[in-house]
């Protein structure tokens, strides 16, 4: 098999580091064109020494000196800054891991699509904030979109028999987060420290909070609709605390195909890395006997309004999902900084959505402008809330 060329956008993040681990397991099978990171020069240098990429890029100019010194004797080319990130993302490559989080990942991910090769998508914003723009770019380039999120990857695998036309609905599962059994009153005084303690998955701070509010599942509803061309009514969410079944496809003959696996992100990453083949991983093997039971129940829309807001954004179309995502990012950051309460997150998102509606977003510039305006408005709401509390 020919050596596959690789680019990793966001190599020092959670998904990026697990991708690096998989590459290091069989280094002769891959050649890394580019490693791209935000500000973690120490880890990026370690990765570069192990994988020997053609170029490493760090977005944060303040971290350039540390990276340059760490790689001084390696001969590896080093670039720095936002423009360099986008340029490196566009280097022709067989497979790109798009794992730069937030809207910062939009332009690099779009640049990568121009290659017309495989895009392993771990950046939610590409489909949520810029869905129409991104999907047009994928189609224009003839690129292959491979979902990395465990739930969407599960649906992708369950649809592999080619019977998409016979689909009745899909089911995305949610762990329910750390507060799935809490009352609304109990959720009022939740601290960031408690919200960051996910019962199943090991994730970064932003996605851990999104899991606790179920905004992550709301964003996944929007992603699934756009990835698989589904209506909101064709997407169901079930809370599944064991996180063993990641997604199900229900067919009109009554059959249900479920993708199962240990809650380990290396499994869906490996699936996209090897697609259409499969490679071995050291991920834990599923022990159904040890699991003892599999539970499922519908999420509570009162305690977790994020799902309702996401469906409303999906139905509204245009820029409504852009607003939802940007407002949520700002609100989550404010919660982590202890400027607002846990229940304020959804309330702020809803208030911002009501203000903006669903403006048109014909191109990336429009997406970024709407994202900027949304963040500014949400921040003004947060300041006003803080002022009223102080008074």
pLDDT, tens digit, for every residue of 81-99?
999 999 999 999 999 999 9
**In this prediction, what percent of the chain has a pLDDT beyond 90?**
84
Which 3 state secondary structure label does DSSP give 250? strand
- Kindly tell me if the per-residue pLDDT of 15 is higher than 70: yes
Q: What is the pTM of this model?
A: 0.91
Measured CA to CA in angstroms, residue 182 lies from 190, 211, 292, 336 at distances of 10, 14, 24, 20
Model pLDDT, residue 209: 92
Distance of alpha carbon 125 from alpha carbon 130, whole angstroms: 7
Give residue for tokens 């240098």. 45
pLDDT, tens digit, for every residue of 300-310?
999 999 999 99
Helical residues (DSSP H) of the chain, grouped into ranges? 14-25, 41-51, 64-70, 82-89, 106-113, 124-128, 131-141, 150-158, 184-187, 192-195, 205-213, 215-228, 266-274, 288-291, 306-316, 320-336, 344-356, 364-390
Model pLDDT, residue 382: 96
pLDDT, tens digit, for every residue of 195-250?
888 666 656 788 889 999 999 999 999 999 999 999 999 999 999 999 899 999 99
pLDDT, tens digit, for every residue of 146-164?
999 999 999 999 998 888 8
- Kindly tell me if the per-residue pLDDT of 346 is higher than 70: yes
CATH of 162-390 given 3.40.50.11810, 1.10.1740.10, 3.30.930.10, 1.10.15.40: 1.10.1740.10
Model pLDDT, residue 291: 81
Rounded mean pLDDT, 294-301 = 94
Do 297 and 238 meet the contact criterion of CB atoms below 8 Å apart? yes
Model pLDDT, residue 389: 72
For the chain, the average pLDDT equals: 93
Rounded mean pLDDT, 52-77 = 97
288 pLDDT band, cuts 50/70/90, is confident
Model pLDDT, residue 43: 98
Burial of 91 (0-12, 13-18, 19+ CB in 10 A): middle
Residue that wins the pLDDT comparison between 204 and 263: 263
Rounded mean pLDDT, 60-67 = 97
Give residue limits of the domains in the chain. 4-147, 162-390
Model pLDDT, residue 56: 98
Question: 4-147 has which CATH code?
Answer: 3.40.50.720
Is 162-390 in the same CATH topology as 4-147?
no
Model pLDDT, residue 202: 59
């Amino acid at each position: 098999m020919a050596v596959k060329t690789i680019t990793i956008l966001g190599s020092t993040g959670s998904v990026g580091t697990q991708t690096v681990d998989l590459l290091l397991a069989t280094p002769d099978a891959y050649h890394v064109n580019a490693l791209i990171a935000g500000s973690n020069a120490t880890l990026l240098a370690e990765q570069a020494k192990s994988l020997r990429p053609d170029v490493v890029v760090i977005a944060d100019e303040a971290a350039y000196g540390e990276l340059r010194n760490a790689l001084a004797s390696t001969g590896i080319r080093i670039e720095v800054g936002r423009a360099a990130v986008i340029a490196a993302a566009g280097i022709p490559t067989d497979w790109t891991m798009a794992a730069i989080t937030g809207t910062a990942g939009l332009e690099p991910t779009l640049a990568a699509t121009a290659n017309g090769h495989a895009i392993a998508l771990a950046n939610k914003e590409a489909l949520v904030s810029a869905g129409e723009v991104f999907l047009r770019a994928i189609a224009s380039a003839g690129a292959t979109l491979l979902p990395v999120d465990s739930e969407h990857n599960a649906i992708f695998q369950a649809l592999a028999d080619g019977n998409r036309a016979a689909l009745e609905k899909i089911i995305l599962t949610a762990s329910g987060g750390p507060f799935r059994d809490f009352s609304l009153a109990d959720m009022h005084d939740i601290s960031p420290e408690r919200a960051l303690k996910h019962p199943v998955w090991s994730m970064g701070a932003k996605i851990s909070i999104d899991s606790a509010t179920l905004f992550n599942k709301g964003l996944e509803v929007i992603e699934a609709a756009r990835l698989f061309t589904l209506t909101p009514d064709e997407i169901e969410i079930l809370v599944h605390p064991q996180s063993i079944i990641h997604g199900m496809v229900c067919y009109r003959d009554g059959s249900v195909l479920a993708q199962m696996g240990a809650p380990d992100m290396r499994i869906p990453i490996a699936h996209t890395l090897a697609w259409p083949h499969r490679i071995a991983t050291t991920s834990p093997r599923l022990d159904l006997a040890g699991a003892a039971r599999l539970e499922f129940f519908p999420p509570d829309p009162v305690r977790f309004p994020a799902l309702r807001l996401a469906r409303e954004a999906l139905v509204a179309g245009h820029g409504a999902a852009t607003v939802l995502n940007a407002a949520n990012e700002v609100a989550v950051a404010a919660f982590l900084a202890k400027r607002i309460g846990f229940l304020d997150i959804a309330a702020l998102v809803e208030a911002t959505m009501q203000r903006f509606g669903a403006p048109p977003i014909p191109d990336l510039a429009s997406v970024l402008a709407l994202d900027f305006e949304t963040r500014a408005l949400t921040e003004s709401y947060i300041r006003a809330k803080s002022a009223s509390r102080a008074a």
